[in-house]
Amino acid sequence: MGYASFTNWRRLEGDPNLIWHAFTHPSETAQYEEHKTETVLGPDFAMAAGDCWDSKHGEECDLDVVRWTITRHVPNEVFEFTGKQRGIRQNVMLTMEPADCGHIVTETIHFRPAFDGKLGTQLLSWLLLATGLLAKLGDDRGENLDLLEAHIAAT
């Protein structure tokens, strides 16, 4: 962990396939995430390593489009993907494991510098990363997992 990453987890009850789909599939997560984006999947998208999707952000993020690429997917166990935005590469790992009366879902996000975006926004992002503020500001303290839990309960 450290100054360039964060991890949150939650124990959820229910059908593991439903939990996994709601936790990992880009079109499903877009339905409950607080930071709204438009998810654009290709016609052959299959949740497999090498597949990509785009997240189109609104004006609050200068209409950024983030291309996410799946690096590893083992259904109901681990889902890893990576993307670059404003000079920062985000490596995301989502995991699920059986636990007493349910499943533990864990999200870990690692940040590192990348050459992407406008130079001014890169420098600001790199400064936030170097000071540890990026991970501190990016960590929602599990709020996204609270939204996931409510989304699963509503289905």
pLDDT per residue as tens digits for the range 63-106: 788 999 999 999 999 999 999 988 899 999 999 999 988 999 99
pLDDT digits (tens, 9 = 90+) for 32-56: 988 788 999 999 999 999 999 999 9
- Indicate whether 107 pLDDT > 90: yes
Reading the block at residue 65, the tokens are: 């489009």
- Indicate whether 2 pLDDT > 60: no
Q: What is the pLDDT of residue 119?
A: 67
* Amino acid letter for position 53: W
The domain segmentation of the chain, as residue ranges, is: 5-154
Burial 125-146 (b: 16+ CB within 10 A, else e): bbebbeeeebbeeeebebebbe
Q: What is the pLDDT of residue 118?
A: 64
How many degrees, rounded to 5, is the angle at CA 88 between CA 86 and CA 94?
A: 120
Confidence (pTM): 0.92
Fold for the domain defined by 5-154: Alpha-D-Glucose-1,6-Bisphosphate; Chain A, domain 4 (3.30.530)
* Amino acid letter for position 4: A
Q: What is the pLDDT of residue 117?
A: 64
Q: What is the pLDDT of residue 35?
A: 79
Q: What is the pLDDT of residue 1?
A: 42
